[in-house]
Amino acid sequence: MKDFGFTITKDRQIDYDQHDHRLLQFVLENEPSFQACISCGGCTATCSAGNLIDFNIRKLNMLLRRGETEGLEKEINKCMLCGKCMLVCPRGINTRNVILKIKEAIQKFR
Amino acid sequence: MTKKVAIIGGGIAGMEAASVLSRMDIEVLLIEKRQQLGGHVGEWDHLFPNFRPASEITRSLLNALQNNNIKICANTVVTGIARKAGLFEVKTNQNQNFKVDGILLATGFDLFDAHKKEEYGYGIYENVITSADLEKKLKGGNVLTTASGCVPKRIAMIHCVGSRDEKAGYFHCSRVCCITAVKQAIEIRQKLPNVEIFCFYMDLRMYGKGFEEIYREAQEKWGIQFVRGRLSEAGENIDGGLQIKSEDTLSGRPLKMIVDMIVLMVGMVPAESTSQMAKMLGIHLSGDGFIAHDDVHFGSNITNVPGIFTAGTITSPMTISDTIADARSAALKICEYIA
Amino acid sequence: MKLEGKKRIWDDYQKEIADNNYYFQRSCIRQNFFPGSEHAFLKILKNELGKDICDDEHHTTCTGIGYHADVVLFETIMTVVARHFALMTEKGYENMIISCVTSFGIYTEILETWKHFPDVLKKVRQHLKKATGREFEIPKNIAHASDIIFKFREEIAARAKYRLINRNTGEPLKIVEHIGCHYSKMFPVHGVGGAEFPYVLQGMVESWGGQIIDYPERRHCCGFGFRQYLVKANRGYSVANSKKKFESMKPYKPDMIVCNCPGCTMFMDKWQYTISEMEGKTYDENGFGIPVLTYEEMAGLVLGYNPWELGLQMHEVQSEPLLDKMGVAYHPDEKYKDAAGNYLGEPAFPTNLKVCV
């Protein structure tokens, strides 16, 4: 293939139909409270890890919901599992278990 | 001598005000341009937040109108109103000429014409419908299908169509569409358990009693997904499916997906008759095109013209509960005036 | 898709287009990459339609590419445009035809600016007077060249030698149209049919027997974007836009793409070659690519003009498969000869994109 001195830019649009939604299904089945998330970001604001490193639990939820699960494993390992996010969640989501279920799902669908 | 009031508009605001005034021994002329009373509610199937049939509302309001003090003029349009010796003379297209002590305007709203949002393809793409079209389909009792007769697998509900949109010519929030989307999404899921539903919203305005509760039920029980982002455009693909583009603002990236059907949550806009009526009577309009109140807190139901009052959505989008309350308050204000 | 729905929108975006006596404003890109287009336009207007049109050698570029690439100031481009109006005024014309969508966008933007800011207009008049001693009138009517072809599409149809119909199957040719962002996205009221469902090219295609295909990424930009393609390192971003469109239109198996804008014609054509070289991908079934024509080239074929006189051999994607479908007569051995019959030599051939030899 020819080299013209540039590469064709990859689309950064989320193409919902091309993505894998099994992880999300697994998490929702095993931690149904996750369904009620309204993306308020309370969890992210209080997150012990997120205050020091590039880790955003609200965005993690978005990635999972859009099926953008590439790189999720690396991201999820940043969580310190302290449980502070559970305390602030206005929708009573067991966020700590959400993380554990994501880890489990990653193993399962690897 | 018995006092007389003309109520223009036989939707739920006019009906409720008529029955309240009649019980206060005031004679009421209820003037409705159509054959049927009940207005937009008469076209609706079920209502938020408790999913009761809309017909219960119109039936109960109709029952309260069976009263000697109320004269219903159906198929009647007001052609002129003039003030004479402290009274109003109301002329109609039926060659009637009524003399009344006060006038209540209750001509309501129009649904936003979805054709104006060209980029959504209403009237062009087969599977783009409005919330009002959906309500008719639900009322008809048939299974919801795409134009080609298939059961839809994925549906997008688009919030704020014609509301909060300078391009559409309307800045205001229509107040009822968010909760209507949630209600309709749940109803679709009840009928089609395998359908995926996405609500595309700018802000979710769940302000009313019971609204937040059914929003939560929509998420938890019915798995309805909410994407914060305004639909930018829809396009039809080769299979008749619709490709939609919006930003997933919470991810900060553009998003596209293919859906089988789009439901546009059309807003409430000032009725075409409102500006004509206002011009004829010298009534002030506010910037949004609805009838204005001189005092935002104490002025509800009162116009700048003495003797002319308002009830319901002629002044602003309202839920049914708010419309009923507004109609009762209008009856009280008009009663004070003519006494 | 419901045609009545589109007609409803087309009714909302009717545009007044002058009937005769035009001053013609040429395009930089088109004269270089599709040199037969403007030649065909003038021939159609003069010979077929008998119109009076002034093709003036004194006008220059509008400097639109420089303006959009931030090297020409708005004040400068306004004065250049004012000079063109002055040339038109001096020649005694009031109706302007603009050949380029970028220029058309700039002219409408400038006129709109002057409408809202009369002080700016006053200043531009002073600048022009000082620099050139010239004075100008604002045109009575401004049309893009495609508006003119659109206006006279039925007259052209009446003189058609070929139609946009597949000879072998009798079916209408499936045609993708692309109007270019600056034709009506900035000012939908100045485009025939508006911006969301433009009618200018569709109207021609319908009148000449073809069928428009409306695909999901129809409204997407070709990726031209001025500074995006001007800087080599950014070209991948420009290509990606065209690629998005090709991927979206591919399932419909289009027989050709007709473009309104010089930039779009160039990139929809040339990026097909680039993608074929970089990724080995082509977007038709047989590996020839989808021919990209200007509306004048399309009109020229319909009127039976020689495809080589129209300059179709100058395109990256070659058009013989299209000519064969339409039944257009052509001489393969004259493809690489100039007007005087001198052999010009063959161009280098692409690696993956097929070319008829």
d(CA B261, CA C311): 45
Long-range contacts at B51-54 (CB < 8 A, ≥ 24 apart): B51/B183, B51/B186, B51/B187
Q: What digits encode the pLDDT tens for the residues C20-64?
A: 999 999 999 898 899 899 999 999 999 999 999 999 999 999 999
Beta-sheet strand order (sheet of B70-73): B70-73, B27-31, B4-8, B102-105, B308-310
Residue C346 included in any domain: no
Interface test with B, best of A10, A11, A17, A94 (most B CBs within 10 A): A17
Tokens of C16: 């007044």
Query: Whole-prediction pTM value?
Result: 0.95
Domain boundaries, chain B: 4-108+271-338, 114-268
What pLDDT was estimated at residue A19? 86
Average pLDDT over residues C182-195: 95
In a domain, C4, yes or no: no
Please give the share of chain C, as a percent, with pLDDT higher than 70. Answer: 100
Query: How many angstroms separate the CA of residue C329 from the nearest CA in chain A?
Result: 35
Question: Which pLDDT score, from 0 to 100, does residue C172 have?
Answer: 98
Subunits with at least 3 CB pairs below 8 A relative to chain A? B, C
Same domain for C157 and C138? no
What digits encode the pLDDT tens for the residues B14-40?
A: 999 999 999 999 999 999 999 999 999
Separation of alpha carbons B56 and B43, rounded Å = 12
- For residue B128, what pLDDT is reported? 98
- What is the predicted pLDDT for the residue at C229? 83
Same domain, C198 and C300: yes
Instruction: Report cis status (omega within 30 of 0) of the bond before B49.
Output: yes
User: Among C135, C138, C149, C50, which residue's Cα sits nearest to residue C99?
Assistant: C149
One domain for residues C167 and C312: yes
Q: Is B269 helix (H, G, I), strand (E, B) or coil?
A: strand
Instruction: For chain B, say whether A93 makes contact (Cβ under 8 Å).
Output: no
Q: Which residues of C touch A11 (CB under 8 A)?
A: 240, 244
**What proportion of chain A, given as a percentage, has pLDDT over 90?**
81
- The domain over range B114-268 is classified in CATH as 3.50.50.60: yes
* Closest among B184, B187, B168 to B176, alpha carbons compared: B184
Residues of B in contact with A72 (CB under 8 A): none
Residue type, B35: Q
Asked, for residue C347, whether it belongs to a domain, the answer is no
The rounded distance, in Å, linking the Cα atoms of B78 and B88 is 12
Number of folded domains that form chain C = 2
Task: State the average pLDDT over residues B301-314.
Answer: 97
Are residue C90 and residue C141 in the same domain, yes or no?
yes
C-alpha–C-alpha distance, residues B301 and B303, integer Å? 7
Structure tokens at B329: 């308050």
Whether the CB-CB separation of B110 and B271 falls below 8 Å is answered with: yes
Q: Inter-chain contact C240–A4, Cβ cutoff 8 Å?
A: no
Under an 8 A CB cutoff, do C239 and A8 touch? yes
Q: Tell me the one-letter amino acid at C149.
A: I
pLDDT given at position B62: 97
**Please, how many CA atoms are within 13 Å of residue C97, restricted to the half-sphere of its CB?**
27
pLDDT score recorded for residue B112: 98
Instruction: Tell me: do C163 and C259 sit in the same domain.
Output: yes
CA torsion, points B230, B236, B242, B244, in degrees to nearest 10? -30
- The confidence score (pLDDT) of residue B1 equals 75
Residue from C235, C242, C270 whose CB has the most chain A CBs within 10 Å, to mutate? C235
The Cα B81–Cα B70 span in angstroms is 20
CA C276 to CA C353: how far, in whole Å? 6
Distance CA C106, CA C28 (A): 14
CA distance C44 to chain A (A): 39
Say if residue C185 is in the same domain as residue C215.
yes
Cβ distance B162 to B110 under 8 Å?
Answer: no
pLDDT bracket for residue C92 (50, 70, 90): very high
For an interface test with B, the pick among A10, A16, A40, A89 (most B C-beta atoms closer than 10 Å) comes out as A16
- Answer yes or no: same fold for B4-108+271-338 and B114-268: yes
**Bridge partner residues of B269 (DSSP):** B110
Same domain assignment for residues C193 and C238: yes
Both structure tokens of C187: 């000012």
pLDDT recorded at residue B86: 87
Residue B45: the pLDDT is 97
> Which whole number is the average pLDDT over C82-98?
98
- Confidence band for C130, pLDDT divided at 50, 70 and 90: very high
Q: What is the pLDDT of residue B59?
A: 97
* Residue in this structure with the two tokens 């009575």, named with its chain if needed: C140
Q: Is A35 on the interface with B (CB under 8 A)?
A: yes
Percent of chain B's residues with pLDDT above 90: 96
Say what the pLDDT of residue A68 is: 85
φ, ψ for residue B84, nearest 5 deg: -140, 120
- Torsion angle (degrees, nearest 10) of CA B224, B227, B231, B233: -80
B30 membership: H or E segment, kind and range: strand B27-31
Asked if residue C325 and residue C268 are part of one domain, the reply reads yes
ipTM: 0.92
pLDDT at B251 over 80: yes
pLDDT in tens, C161-173: 999 999 999 999 9
How many angstroms separate the CA of residue B238 from the nearest CA in chain C?
A: 7
User: Which CATH number fits the domain that encloses residue C31?
Assistant: 1.20.1050.140
How many Cα neighbours within 13 Å face the side chain of B186? 21
Q: How confident is the model over C267-281, as a mean pLDDT?
A: 96
Of C236, C244, C280, the CB nearest to A6: C236
With H, G, I as helix, E, B as strand and everything else as coil, classify residue A6.
coil
Superfamily of domain B4-108+271-338: FAD/NAD(P)-binding domain (3.50.50.60)
pLDDT for position B142: 84
Q: Are residues C164 and C301 in the same domain?
A: yes
For position B339, what pLDDT does the model report?
86
Q: What is the mean pLDDT of residues C169-178?
A: 98
Contact residues, chain B, for A13 at CB < 8 Å: 245, 253-256
Angle at B89 between CA B84 and CA B94, to 5 degrees: 155
User: What mean pLDDT value characterizes chain C?
Assistant: 96
SS3 A36: helix
Can you give the CATH number for the domain in which C166 is found? 3.40.50.11810
Specify the pLDDT at position C346. Answer: 87
- The residue range of the domain holding C249 is 153-329
CB contact under 8 A, C197 and B118: yes
Rounded to a whole number of angstroms, the distance between the first and last alpha carbons of chain A is 33
Q: Are C242 and C179 contained in the same domain?
A: yes
**Domain shared by C228 and C265, yes or no:** yes
pLDDT of residue C192: 97
The answer to the question of residue C335 being in a domain is: no
Provide CB contacts within 8 A for C110, sequence distance 6+: C77, C78, C81
pLDDT tens-digit map of A34-87:
999 999 999 999 999 999 999 999 998 888 998 888 888 889 999 999 999 999
Alpha helices in chain C (DSSP H): 3-12, 28-33, 35-43, 64-68, 74-90, 101-116, 118-132, 145-151, 153-158, 181-184, 200-207, 227-230, 235-249, 262-279, 295-302, 320-326
pLDDT, one tens digit per residue, over C316-338 is: 999 999 999 999 999 999 999 98
Asked whether residue C235 falls in the same domain as residue C292, the answer is yes
Between chains, do B219 and A36 touch, taking CB under 8 Å as contact?
Answer: yes
